Amino acid sequence: MDRVPKDNIVLTGDFNAKVGGAGGKETAIRGFGLGERNEAGERLIEVCDTNELRIMNTCFKKPKRRYTWTFPDGKYKNQIDYVLVKRRWKSIVQDVQTRPGADCGWDHELLVVTL
């Protein structure tokens, strides 16, 4: 983070973190996360708050299909892939959604960001 331009950061990736819904004073997430927060989720939120990033997956109400990863047997589904955007530029993101069933060749769902 120290080596990238600070103005307009859009970062996507598999963070293996579960941030859950809003549950504190953090500004990185909104109320539409999935599951319960884990330690990696705490660290991701801390990094986002420190660097003025927003986790955009948690900003859009999706009644279903917020999960981004499915365990191979299909029993467990988690939201662990995220789109992070500088808070100042959050309005450029119009939607973030998964496309379950897209043939990506792995156990993660295709994550689509509309800018």
5 within domain boundaries? no
2 within domain boundaries? no
96 within domain boundaries? yes
4 within domain boundaries? no
Domain residues for 57? 10-114
In angstroms, the CA 41 to CA 99 distance is: 23
Distance of CA 51 to the CA centre of its chain: 15
In angstroms, the CA 36 to CA 91 distance is: 26
The residue type at 6: K
pTM: 0.86
Count of positions (residues) in the chain = 115
3 within domain boundaries? no
Rg (CA), the chain: 14
Angle at 16 between CA 105 and CA 62, to 5 degrees: 75
16 within domain boundaries? yes
108 within domain boundaries? yes
Q: Which residues make beta-bridge pairs with 93? A: none
pLDDT in tens, the chain (115 residues): 778 777 778 899 999 999 987 666 678 888 888 888 999 999 999 999 999 999 999 998 877 777 888 888 888 888 999 999 999 999 999 999 888 777 776 788 888 999 9
1 within domain boundaries? no
Q: What is the pLDDT of residue 23?
A: 63
| Number of domains present in the structure of the chain | 1
